[in-house]
Structure formats: structure tokens, C-alpha cells
Amino acid sequence: MSRQLFPESPAYLRQLSAAGRERARALFIFLNALILISTAFILALNLLLKPLPTVNALIVSAIASSFLCLWLLHNGRPQLAGNIINGVIFAVILYLTYLDATGAYPLHGFTQTGMMAAGLALAGLFGSKRLPLVFGVVYSLTLLGLVFYLSSLHNWSDLRRSTVEFTLDGIIALVAGSILIFLLRRIYDRSLAAISTRNRRLERFLSSLRRSEERFHRLSDASFEAVVLSQDGRILEANRAFTELFGHNADDDVTIEGLVSAEHRDRLRSLLNSDSRKSAELLCKRRDGSTLLVEARSSIIKNPDSAVRSIVMRDITNERKNLELLEHLAYHDALTGLGNRKLLQQTTESILVEGRRCAILLADLDRFKEINDTLGHPFGDALLQGLAHRIRESFPAPFLTCRTGGDEFTLLIPDPDGESMVRDIAQSFSDAINRALRTDGVTLEMQCSIGASYSPNHGSDFEALFRCADVAMYAAKRSGTGIAVYASILDLHNPRRLMLLSDLGRMVREKAFELHFQPKVDLINHDIDGYEVLTRWTHPRLGSISPAELIPLAETGNHIGLLTETVIDVTLEQMRSWAPQFKPTLAVNVSARNLVDEMFPERVIQAIEEYNINPAQLELEITESAFMHDPQRALQSVSRLNQAGITLSIDDFGTGYSSLSYLTDLPVQALKIDLSFIREMIKKEKHQILVSSTIQLAHGLGLAVIAEGVENEDTARALRKMECDFGQGFHFGAPVPAPAIMRR
């Protein structure tokens, strides 16, 4: 620890504040001024009363020293000034101590001792660490002088009492001054050490605070979120992300409230007035005038003197747009933009919870699958979009229009006024759908079946109302009326359909069906040329299920592809059981799903080889719509089957949308005229012309012709006249199981 206040403490000087250094400088100036004035006064008094050359010299030296100290202080040299003051004070002490010994300026007793002690204390307070060494030299010289003085005496009578007293007084004064200096320095050093320790701690704290502030600014600028420190609505500080987000700097004359749009300022005030952590979504304005949505989180940073509010803002504009898009997709059909089943359910339940009434109209497009298979899915999608646009324009709010299935459109009617109103709106719904619609250059007459249900008569929740509308829709489709309102009697069919759908997959996997065979007869010689294979399913609880009911169910449940291949496999197994005594040609219907399956031909060919069957014995019947579903892939499959020697024919000819040009491309051996033309042929001349023209066309292409639905001899006779090759129908024989064929 240094022994002087300023000269030997440069580190302490650096720790002092500017105000502290000014106070120290002022103290030095005051002391030097005091010395200057005092010595000048003594000099004047001494010159007037009793000149003492030695004293005058001492005073002049003090004056010169004071001027020198003032000059050094003015030029920033406090250490040299302090040492000069030390020297002047100590010189005065020594002079006054021994002055009386020479008799020049006597001071006696306690006056001299007190002056010396006080002077030494003052010198020690401002003295350097070398002062104790000087004291030691003075003690030694004083005692040595006293010893020499005493030893030089010849007798004790020569001893001058005053000399001894003055010498002893000087020694006592030096000892007392030294003790006083020691005590004062101990007190001073401890105080100085405490102050220095406190200052070092303060310096470390300030340094840590500066580092923390720097880290805060670095972290704040590295953040992608805008960070603002605000007080009373004013922006005190802001990071780089704030500037990038809003286009403003922290120095700009802008307030937090000025950033927020008027409609959200109440939210902002609530956020700023909260004493706890809180967040809010705020619509804000950028500097260029554009708007953005931010999530603002607010918290308070408390200081001893004040509190600052921290606001962290995150741009959620795109996030909210994406969320709204996801919500829209969650409640709307992606293809048509109409509401989906989820939106229909939510809206219906909201109406019912409010104690209001509503009605549901469920429309199913007739023959849409055939259109989709024939003209392709892109055409079908465009058709659905056109219908959706028409329905939306015909039934604006408060109606809700939805697409709840592939070819199902639903209309929600809020607050209907009885069944008559429901029927009237259902008729308008039907008219909107059934009008001719032109899509991709093709004009089609649409047909639909509509089922209606309404609360509270048919249910008090969405599921009940929708199920009743579905039941009524299928009733309308079966009856051909186009529109049906739910009645309890119609509900008998719905559990049956659900039961069949649930058991269909198991039936296919377990081959729990039976094959029946309907003969195909040569119209000229009446011989049986082959059989068409028909699938019969006897349900454990519902009994026999006809093909007219089974095939649509299989198509609905996506079981048709597996069902077809399973039927082919069982058919080949039946052929092997009949061989070699009986080798008829057996015809199996093939679905569109099989034709677009690239591996289907290979699996059929492999099965034929495994059962060791002549490929020509297997005939595959393909509908026009199945071929038109994907003509290119279907043509590849048909060509591969034809190359393997399998017989191919076109089924239900005349009911599809195929072009006649495909007949020249398809490697088929026969075509079957649909029974709808054959049954009406006798009664309607136009049907006779169509049948006759088809037979001639087929023969011209080298194809055999098979007429379906021959139910009497008149029809058979007319077909013979038209030179039709084969006939099939109840006139020649109903479908029978395999054992019955062998008994014929």
C-alpha cells in the first residue's frame, strides 16, 4: 500500500472520477495558497519589527516553493508538488526545533513540542514513504549530537540546562509526531484500502455490466425477432431485426403506438398496461405503408430507478396466411372449392345447437363413373368444377354448398319452412345440376338423384340427417323419380348395403361365392358355343345377392379388381375339372381396374399355364367404358392377352362413349350388343335399324356378333334374319351352376 495520498498512487488516481481528481487538485491549490499567504504575512511582519536573516531566507524559500508547486499543479505534476510541500514543512519543523538551541528564536516547553508534533503529523499526512527514513536519520543525528555534546564537557557545571531541555524536547516532539503519524497513517491506509477495494469492485461490476450490455446487443442483433426497449410508449432501443421488419431505426421519431394500426391499438394498450408477461397479435404498418401481422410478447425489466418494457415482435404474416390456407383446405374440397363434409357437419351442428331447423339435400350424379371412365379423369374433374360453379351461383348464402363424395353434392338449407319448401328447393337443386353442361368442347345432359332429410323429423344431429338423406338418395336412384324425401320405410335398404360392403372383402378372399354359367347359342344350328360366367353370392344372413347388386358394391368398395382375378382363377379351376371330356369356352367380364394394371395380363397367362388350359377356351369380355378409362394402357393389356391366344370381346356395345374407330385398333374377335337394344328391338323400329347396322359393321370388320337379352323366339327369329351369329338370354337358358351343365 502506498504511503502518500496522491503522488505514490497512480493506480488510485486512475480509479478516481473526474470530480475526485478536481477536488484533489483544488486541495493542493488551497494548501499552497495558504502557505503563500502565511509566509508573505510573516515576512512582512519580520521585516517591520526585527529582521532575522535566517527566518527571512526560510520564508523566501517557502514562497518560492509555493509558486513552484502552483506551477507544477497547473501543468499536471501533483507528485512533484506534493514532495516539495513535504520538504518545506519538514524544514520548518527542524528549524523551529533547533532554533532555540542557538538562541536565535526561542520557543519553550509544550508550545515547541505541540508545534513540532502537529507539523510532523501534517508532513506525514502528505509525506512520502521515505519520511520514516528521514525521521530515523534525525533521531540518530540528534542523539549523536547530544552524546558528543555531553562527552565534550569537562564537568557537569559546563552543562547548559536549556540545551539539554531543548534537545530532549525535540526528541520527544519527534517521537510524539512519529506515533501520531503512525496512528493517522494506519487509519488513513485502512480507509484508503477500503475505498480502493470498493472502487475495484465497482470497476469490475461496471466492466461486467458493459460486457453484459455488449452481449445483449450482440444477441439482440443476432435474433430474427424484433426486440424493442420502450418507456412511456417511446422507443429507447431497437435491434437490427426491428429495422429490417419495419423500416424504422430506433432514432426515428416513431412510437410503439404509431407502428400499430388503429383497430388494434386497444390490444396494444392492454399489452403495455399489463404487469405480467403477455402476448397479443397486432396488425402493424411498415415505413413504406404496407401492413404485417406480428405476434408481440411484452415483459417488464425493473431497475432501481425506473422500469423499461421489453417488446419482442415476430412477423407471422405468412404463418397466418398458411394457417388460413390449411384451415380452408381442412373445410373445403380442393377440386371444386365447395365446402367438404367437415364444414357441412360443423355448420349443421351449429344450427342445431342454436335450436334452429335445417335440411340436407344429397345429390348423386347418375352414370358419372361411366363418364369418368370413358372421357378420362381430367374431363371428369373439369365437369365437376363446372357443376360446382353452377351450384354455387344458384344457391348463395345462407345456403351452404358442399362436395361430400366423388360425385356427390350436398346442399344445406337453414331454417326450412316445412317439407313442401324442402321439395321445392330440391327440385331447383335438381334443375341446376341436370341442365346441359359444355366441358372441353363436349356437351352433356347430366342426371342426378337427390335425397332429402330435415330436422327434427328425421334426426336431431348431423350424422342422423346425413344418413337419412343418403338413404333417400339411393331410394330416388332405384325408383328413377330423381327426388325422394326420407321416410322410415326406405331405411330397410341401408343396413343391408352396409352389411354387404363390410362382408364383401371377406367373401372375395375366402372365395365364398358360386359360379353360374349362362349358355351362348349359335342362332343357326342352335348348338351351345360357350358360356358366360356369372358370380353368385349367397350371404349368410341376407341370402342370394344378384350380380346387379354385387358388381356396383364391389366397384364402390374397390374390390372389383381382386374379385375379377379371383373369378378367373376359379373359372380356370372349373375348366380343369371338366377336362378332357368337356372343354367349353367360358367368358368372364373384366373391369377397367384390371385393364390399367400392367401385371394383369401376366397373371392371367401364368394362371392358364398353371392349370394347363388352352388359352382359346378363356374369353374375356371388356366393356367400352372400361377400355375408354385409359385407352393406351388398356390397348397394351388387350394386345398382350391377344398375343397369348386368349379370346377377347367387347361387352355391352352401344351403351358407352367409345369411337367406332377403336374397333379397328382393338384385337378383339367378337362384340356383344347390349340387351337394352335387343329387348326393345321388336317394338321399336329404330332399335332394329341400330342392331342391324351394328351386325353389318361387325361382320365388315371380321367380328362375330352376340346378342344379349334374347327372351323369346320372335327376337331370335329377327336376329337370324339379320345374320346375327350368337344369342344369349333366358330364351336359350338361365344361368345354372356347374353340376347342372353336366346333367344337360
Question: Which residue would you say has higher pLDDT here, 268 or 557?
Answer: 268
Looking at residue 125, its pLDDT comes to: 47
- Distance (Å, whole) CA 358 – CA 460: 10
Percent of the chain with pLDDT over 70: 67
Average pLDDT over residues 581-593: 90
Q: How confident is the model at residue 158 (pLDDT cuts 50, 70, 90)?
A: very low
Q: Which of the residue ranges 299-303, 461-465, 698-702 would you say has the lowest mean pLDDT? A: 299-303
| pLDDT at 139 > cutoff 50 | no
640 vs 633, more confident = 640
Apex 294 CA angle, 289 and 300, nearest 5 = 115
Average pLDDT over residues 660-670: 78
Q: How confident is the model at residue 173 (pLDDT cuts 50, 70, 90)?
A: low
* Cβ atoms within 10 Å, residue 351: 20
For residues 8 and 29, give the distance between their C-alpha atoms in angstroms, rounded to a whole number: 19
pLDDT at residue 1, rounded to an integer? 35
pLDDT of the residue at 6: 33
223-232, 350-359, 525-534: which range is least confident on average?
Answer: 223-232
Q: What is the pLDDT of residue 258?
A: 80
Question: What is the Cα Rg of the chain in Å?
Answer: 59
pLDDT at residue number 212 = 65
Q: Does residue 701 surpass a pLDDT of 80?
A: yes
pLDDT score recorded for residue 234 = 76
Band (pLDDT 50/70/90 cuts) for residue 185 is: low
* Least trusted range by pLDDT, from 50-59, 707-716, 730-739: 50-59
Antiparallel, parallel or unpaired: β 408-414 and 483-485: unpaired
Q: What is the mean pLDDT of residues 696-710?
A: 92
| Cβ neighbours around 53 below 10 Å, total | 9
59: nearest Cα among 36, 80, 79: 36
CA pair distance 665, 21, nearest whole angstrom: 110
Instruction: Give residue for cell 347390349.
Output: 674
DSSP single-letter state for residue 294: E
What was the pLDDT predicted at 289? 82
pLDDT score recorded for residue 210: 72
Burial label, 329 (beta-carbon count in 10 A; 0-12, 13-18, 19+): exposed
Predicted confidence band at 587 (pLDDT cuts at 50, 70, 90)? Answer: very high
Q: What are phi and psi of 242, to 5 degrees?
A: -60, -45
587 three-class SS: strand
pLDDT at 99: 47
**Distances from the Cα of 308 to the Cαs of 241, 294, 641, in angstroms?**
20, 21, 83
CA neighbor of 398 nearest in space, from 388, 387, 419, 412? 412
Predicted confidence band of residue 213 (pLDDT cuts 50, 70, 90): low
Which residues lie across from 545 on neighbouring strands? 537
Distance from C-alpha of 43 to C-alpha of 80, rounded to nearest angstrom: 25
What is the pLDDT, as a whole number, of residue 78? Answer: 55
3-class secondary-structure state, position 665? helix
Other C-beta atoms lying within 10 Å of the C-beta of residue 577: 10
**What residue type is 86 in one-letter code?**
N
Residue owning grid cell 345374320: 723
Region 190-215 average pLDDT: 75
What's the whole-number mean pLDDT along residues 571-580? Answer: 91
Beta-carbon count within 10 A of 135 CB: 20
Per-residue confidence (pLDDT) for residue 7, from 0 to 100: 36
Q: Which of 533, 540, 539 is nearest to 553 (CA)?
A: 539
Write out pLDDT tens, residues 86-131. 555 555 545 544 444 444 444 444 444 444 444 444 444 444 444 4
Say how far apart CA 544 and CA 31 lie, in whole Å.
129
**Residue reference for cell 502565511:** 38
Task: Read off the C-alpha cell for 741.
Answer: 351343365
Distance separating alpha carbons of residues 538 and 565, to the nearest angstrom? 19
Residue type, 610: E
Neighbours of 323 (CB within 10 A): 11
Q: Assess contact for 450 and 361: CB atoms under 8 A.
A: yes
Residue 724 clears pLDDT 90, i.e. is over it: yes
CA distance 674 to 139: 146
- What is the pLDDT averaged over residues 611-637? 85
- pLDDT at residue 206 in the model: 77
CA 214 distance to own-chain centroid: 32
- Domains by residue range for the chain, with CATH: 10-198 (no CATH), 223-320 (3.30.450.20), 347-486 (3.30.70.270), 507-743 (3.20.20.450)
